[in-house]
Amino acid sequence: MSHVVKITIDGVECMATSGQYIIDVAKENGIYIPTLCNYPGVKPKGSCRICTVKVNGRMMTACTTPVSENMEIDNTSGDIVELRKAIIELLFIEGNHFCPACEKSGNCELQALAYRYSMMVPRFPYTFPQRQVDAQNPKLVKDQNRCILCKRCIRAIHDADGRAIFAYHKRGNKVEICLDPKIGKNLSDELAQKAMDVCPVGALLVKEKGFDQPIGERKYDKEPIGSDIEKL
């Protein structure tokens, strides 16, 4: 049923298969669209909104929108860049992000994006919320201060019976991530590591593993986020 379609991203012609998401087509064509909630192999959710592009003039999230013939996609115009920068700033002021003291520094996608979008200081006032650190789980520490509520852990981590180990709790600006105390108790080392790996920030950490990789040798220490895609 799928067929080849032609689209343009910032004027560059790209070939794609119908049904593919914009974000993946861009990646295949060496074009970087920033993401935070999207994760390879996990059903997209479009919750962070940072991959917003203009599709024929309309704002759409690149991670959830399938391509169709003759789509014209704008990924770099001024207002799109400004929007992304604003979203990064909003995520910074929503929580308590102290990069120098964070185990994930250098491997953190939010931090890396802040560098890429040259954030100096957020335009929005900090909210300094009171948030909990939950270390009850035998394998994982959950630091709500750093969570950006991207739902990657909710969507990616399930037990052998397919039950959700992570879930949202409450709604609106009171939303938090919860780790199921019962199922979570029997979390395998592999799943715990996967949870830490899918977390774009330092909100989920495997106990005693925070500094396994030394600072200076981490993913974004030498090259900005997205440069691997742009090098293709």
Partner 1 sequence: MKNYTQKIVEKYHHDKTRLMDILIAVQSEYGYISSESIALIAHELKMSDVDVEQTVSFYHFFSAQPTGKFSIFLNNSAVANMMGREEVATALEQETGIKFGQVTPDGLIGLFETSCIGMNDQEPAAIINNRIFTKLTSFRVKEIIRDIKDGKKIEELYSASFGDGANRDVSVQSVVSNNIRKIGPILDPNYKIGEAIRKITKMTPLEVIDEVKNSSVRGRGGAGFPTGLKWEFCRNAKGERKYIFCNADEGEPGTFKDRVILTELPRLLFEGMVIAGYAVGATEGILYIRYEYKYLETYLEKILEAARKKNYLGKDIMGKKGFDFDIRIQFGAGAYVCGEESALIESAEGKRGEPRDRPPFPVEKGYLEMPTIVNNVETLCSVVKVILNGAEWYRSFGTAESTGTKLLSISGDCRNPGVYEVAWGFSVNDILAMVGKSANVQAVQVGGPSGSLIGPDEFSRNLGYEDLATGGSLIIFGEHRNLLKDVVLNFMDFFIEESCGSCSTCRILPSVLRTKLLKIMNARGVQQDIEDMVNWSGFLKASRCGLGQTAANPIITSIKNFRHLYEARVQSRKEYDTGFDLTKAVIEACEVTGRVPNI
CA gap 26, 14 in Å, rounded:
8
Minimum CB distance to partner 1 smaller for 79 or for 230: 79
Output the smallest distance, CB 39 to partner 1, in A: 15
Output the smallest distance, CB 59 to partner 1, in A: 5
Minimum CB distance to partner 1 smaller for 123 or for 222: 123
Q: For the chain, how many residues are written?
A: 232
Output the smallest distance, CB 19 to partner 1, in A: 11
**Which pairs from 210-219 meet CB under 8 Å and 24+ separation?**
210/103, 210/104, 211/103, 213/107, 215/105, 215/106, 216/106, 218/105, 218/106, 218/107, 219/106, 219/107, 219/112
Output the smallest distance, CB 89 to partner 1, in A: 10
Minimum CB distance to partner 1 smaller for 3 or for 169: 169
Please name the residues in contact with 142: beta carbons below 8 A apart, sequence gap of 6 or more. 133, 134, 135, 177, 179, 203, 204
Output the smallest distance, CB 232 to partner 1, in A: 27
Output the smallest distance, CB 222 to partner 1, in A: 28
57 φ, ψ to 5°?
90, -10
Minimum CB distance to partner 1 smaller for 47 or for 105: 47
Minimum CB distance to partner 1 smaller for 176 or for 221: 176
Check: CB of residue 30 under 8 Å from CB of residue 15: no
Task: Compute CA 148 distance to the chain's CA centroid, rounded to the nearest angstrom.
Answer: 8
Residues that bind partner 1 (CB under 8 A): 44-50, 52, 59, 61, 64-66, 83, 86-87, 90-91, 93-94, 123-125, 127, 148-149, 151, 159, 161, 163-175, 178-183
Q: Which helix H or strand E contains 192, and what residues bound it? A: helix 189-198
Minimum CB distance to partner 1 smaller for 178 or for 229: 178
